[in-house]
Structure 1
Amino acid sequence: MRSSNPVFSRRGFSRDNGYAGFNTAPQAGGAAVGTQGNPYAQPQAGSPYAQNPYAQNPYAQQDLQYGAPPQAPATTGRMTLDDVLMRTGATLGTLIVTAALAWALLPVDDANISRSYGIGIGAALIGMVLAFVQSFKRKASPALILTYAAFEGVFLGVISSIVDNRIASGAAMQAVLGTMAVFAAVLVAYKAGWIRVNRRFVGFVMAAALGFILLMAVNLLFAVFGGGDGLGFRSGPLGIVFGVIGILLGACFLALDFKQVEDGIAYGAPREEAWLAAFGLTLTLVWIYMEFLRIIAILQGDD
């Protein structure tokens, strides 16, 4: 399970057929369907257990006899939902603390806004580099993930303070509430089965996200070299439209995150994978928050 977010490559999507066991489940009497694309499936060829499929679990043969699905070995090194919740809480907690400190210690009045904004952008660039490094690492690095969260928090604190104090009063809290609402809605829809994360869903989301990111990159280039708002995709009426699209994409990525966590627990992923789940969820929530903040700034800034 690799780290996930709307910008960087999704975790687990580079295995064999391009998917990480989506729409698969443990099957009775054998390996999971589509285990070749599932990073948590039990190894077969070349495995020390290949000659004796019951070596890991002395009760596996009995389970197969009575049609019970194979269970992940009951060891303390397997990822659980509590592990994911604790790591996500630690990552988001670090981000929130540094955001609050940046808000309080970096003033955005006329005399200090340039300095504070520069610090925020610098923190964003450092956070981006750290996120790239973690995304390409084969294993989770808790220190790297928490450091990323700290720098990302500084950036969010500065940007939120600027928008809240100079453009749209109360925008930061509204963006937080909107992000929480999206998270809760997607979680309920996913658990109720209203969102089915299968290969078609993954392909659509990835294609839409790639197109969205490329379009925003082109808009940024026009803004840098041409000045103003570039092609206008991030301001005015078009900015609102693309902000809504960004939130919908973030919601789709939340569903992918939930599926990856579910698969990781079902197939007995190592406990350290919980840090990658926390990393992916944090990236996605930051994405959604920033889109909400942008929409609120555009709507209230035009008043």
Structure 2
Amino acid sequence: MKTSNPVLARLGQAAERERAAGYAPAGAYGQPEYGQAYPTAGGYPAAPPTVQPMSIDDVVVKTVTLLGITGASAAAAWVLVPDALAGAAWIGAAVVGLVLGLVISFSRMANPALIVTYALVEGVFVGMVSKFFESFYNGIVLQAVVATFGVFFLMAGLYKMKAIRATRKFVRGVIAAMVGVFAVMLINLVLSLFGFNTGLRDGGALAIGFSLICIVIASLSFILSFHEVEEGVRMGLPQRYSWVAAFGILVSLIWLYIEILRLLSYFQGDD
């Protein structure tokens, strides 16, 4: 099956290999290991079991599940992590989450356990960041949460009405913008470690402009996620790949939330 999305193309190829090999989790319901034939009473191999295709409902359920895990982890971290360890928990969760995110993104197989672990770790990160901002600006977390889901449902509505279409040029443009923004963030982080202030995160006009750009790109990334879900259903990807689609939506939601939180802080109180 042809698709212009490189992620879907990779997952589609992996799914085809799974179907051809008769994939089933090792040991489940007495089934053989990956790639082994399914024996019958007569000793002849039987056809592999039918792979249940993913649906939009599957993605919705998985997304809500991951959001619930992230929210619960964030709340637990907020309450249980001592203030003295908040910085270490923040940085540690950010690093571990980044590594897990890269592994999941570049993996050729859907791994629900790894994705759930990512949600748990990112929950700690989100909880620590939220607690930090809330300690300075009362009510800012609720404002950011409402704004984040408001943007998400707006983009979902625009995609449903086909006001924004995930054309080949659009997909390439958004991906290029995301890579560019993340490169700038990385450079800014490295420079800040050596004492250089680029002004991208100090609350000034440049910082506000950069956060707005990030918010726009994060919002447009939802269109890519919705398109991936739609194409994944059309291509008949196995049900387990709904975890990958839900992971993509979760990543965009967390990024959007952090950027909105940061932007709101620029307009509240003194720097």
TM norm. shorter chain > 0.5: yes
Partner of 1:24: none
Return the offset for 1:106.
2.4
Matching of residues 154-303 of structure 1 within 5 Å? 154-165=124-135, 167-227=136-196, 230-235=197-202, 236-302=204-270
Question: What is the TM-score of this pair, normalised by structure 1?
Answer: 0.72
Q: What is the CA deviation profile of residues 127-166 of structure 1, one whole-angstrom value per residue up to 9, with x for unaligned ones?
A: 111112212221111111111100110011011001001x
Return the offset for 1:12.
4.5
Stretches of 4+ moved more than 2 A in 1? 37-40
SS of 2:239's equivalent?
coil
Return the offset for 1:246.
0.6
| Amino acid of the structure 1 residue aligned with 2:240 | E
Return the offset for 1:187.
0.4
2:87 to 110, 117, 120: 117
Structure 1, 155-164 or 205-214: larger mean CA deviation: 205-214
Partner of 2:6: 13
SS of 2:200's equivalent?
coil
Return the offset for 1:182.
0.6
Structure 1, 208-217 or 153-162: larger mean CA deviation: 208-217
Cα distance in structure 2, aligned partners of 1:296 and 1:121? 22
Matching of residues 32-181 of structure 1 within 5 Å? 39=12, 77-108=52-83, 112=84, 115-165=85-135, 167-181=136-150
Q: What is the CA deviation profile of residues 56-110 of structure 1, one whole-angstrom value per residue up to 9, with x for unaligned ones?
A: xxxxxxxxxxxxxxxxxxx6610011111111111111100000011112244xx
| Amino acid of the structure 1 residue aligned with 2:161 | A
SS of 2:171's equivalent?
helix
Return the offset for 1:302.
2.7
Matched-pair contact (CA < 8 Å) for 1:120–1:159: yes
| Amino acid of the structure 2 residue aligned with 1:39 | G
Matched-pair contact (CA < 8 Å) for 2:86–2:128: yes
| Amino acid of the structure 2 residue aligned with 1:13 | P
| Amino acid of the structure 2 residue aligned with 1:211 | G
Matched-pair contact (CA < 8 Å) for 1:91–1:278: yes
Matched-pair contact (CA < 8 Å) for 1:117–1:159: no
Return the offset for 1:170.
1.0
| Aligned-residue CA RMSD (Å) | 2.4
SS of 2:79's equivalent?
helix
Q: Identical aligned pairs, as a percentage?
A: 39
Return the offset for 1:126.
1.2
Return the offset for 1:39.
3.1
Cα distance in structure 2, aligned partners of 1:103 and 1:287? 19
Return the offset for 1:38.
9.2
Structure 1, 262-271 or 203-212: larger mean CA deviation: 203-212
| Amino acid of the structure 2 residue aligned with 1:128 | L
| Amino acid of the structure 1 residue aligned with 2:200 | F
Assess, with a 3 A threshold, how the Cα gap between structure 1 residues 203 and 192 changes in structure 2: closer, same or farther: same
Assess, with a 3 A threshold, how the Cα gap between structure 1 residues 76 and 13 changes in structure 2: closer, same or farther: closer
Q: What residue ranges of structure 1 are gaps of 5+ in the alignment?
A: 1-10, 15-19, 22-36, 48-74
Matched-pair contact (CA < 8 Å) for 1:79–1:268: yes
Return the offset for 1:299.
1.4
Cα distance in structure 1, aligned partners of 2:91 and 2:244? 25
Cα distance in structure 1, aligned partners of 2:253 and 2:227? 16
Return the offset for 1:301.
3.6
SS of 1:39's equivalent?
helix
Cα distance in structure 1, aligned partners of 2:186 and 2:93? 20
| Amino acid of the structure 1 residue aligned with 2:54 | M
Return the offset for 1:263.
0.8
| Amino acid of the structure 1 residue aligned with 2:12 | P
Partner of 1:70: none
Matched-pair contact (CA < 8 Å) for 1:102–1:154: yes
Return the offset for 1:190.
0.4
